[in-house]
Structure 1
């Protein structure tokens, strides 16, 4: 019985892993784009690494703001909805990952969803997220949405994130 459960676990793991970091060809550009649920590893593919790594290296978040956010790392989760075809996503998502790395933010509290130009995640239903522009960074506390950073930050990613957290944690 245990062997059957173990085999079943591995089969399910393999099948679910195949759905992550899926690529399709963009109708407009004819180039690969990511679609559906992904993780950071998807950006290591050469189709995406050239812009991801370049933007990541260039971004320098403010240390004092990072220190203020670090105190709340275990209190919130993030969903990122982006399109690898979108110039704003190509700029802001690597910057956001740089911020998350400096925060030592837990990877398991990040959900990354890639969509096509029609705002479709293919096998990932995002209709309830009401996405109008990408990237959209949705911040949650205890499963409840507390704020968003949409397309471009108002001040900076770190300042906008801190404001969202302070407005909701100090109530």
Structure 2
């Protein structure tokens, strides 16, 4: 009888776990057709989507023409930026996203930032995504770039970088990271 109850408990747990996993499936690279804006990306995206028409028209030009601040890149490398997680909310309909998202991608390429640490979420004009991710992060404007470490938000860049350069704003966010402050204390 004890073995029977144990087996039922195990099967129930496995069924529940599989339901949880299937409920968490995320559609990637969703594209929708809108009346006012034409084609629009919506929800979780891979960066390759932006190399396709019609997004490549603005993405490639801004990406290729952007001159990276190499001093800031050096500081990001020194600060081990590749160990952080990035969540980027953007809109393929948004001019600020057209400017800053390709620049961010060029910066991340320069840093050889791991793709598995980057989440790109495209929003509609109401700043909504199919999974409601924007609500978890209280997104009001796009683009919004969120830097996280161990699931904790360290800082964000909203709409435009305050320094005028995304990479410099990222350096400023790293400087706020508590663990780097602790490291500085113990260096002395």
**How does the TM-score come out when normalised to structure 1?**
0.85
How many Å separate the matches in 2 of 1:26 and 1:161? 34
The aligned counterpart of 1:8 is none
The aligned counterpart of 2:110 is 102
C-alpha contact 1:25 1:32 (8 A) present in aligned 2 = yes
- Where in structure 1 are there 5+ consecutive unaligned residues? 1-11
Give the Å deviation of 1:44. Answer: 1.7
- Where in structure 2 are there 5+ consecutive unaligned residues? 1-20, 183-188
How many Å separate the matches in 2 of 1:113 and 1:163? 23
Aligned 1:127-166 pairs, distance under 5 A = 127-155=135-163, 156-166=165-175
Runs of 4+ in 1 over 3 A off after TM superposition: none
Give a deviation string over 1:119-144, Cα, whole Å, max 9, x none: 11023432111001100000001110
Give a deviation string over 1:16-75, Cα, whole Å, max 9, x none: 68x21111123432x100000001011121110111000001111111110110121343
How many Å separate the matches in 1 of 2:66 and 2:95? 16
Look at both structures and tell me which one has the larger radius of gyration over its CA atoms. Answer: 2
Residue-pair matches, total: 155
How many Å separate the matches in 2 of 1:33 and 1:79? 19
Give a deviation string over 1:50-106, Cα, whole Å, max 9, x none: 110000011111111101101213431100000000000011000000111111111
RMSD: 1.6
The SS at the match of 2:120 is strand
How many Å separate the matches in 1 of 2:156 and 2:35? 29
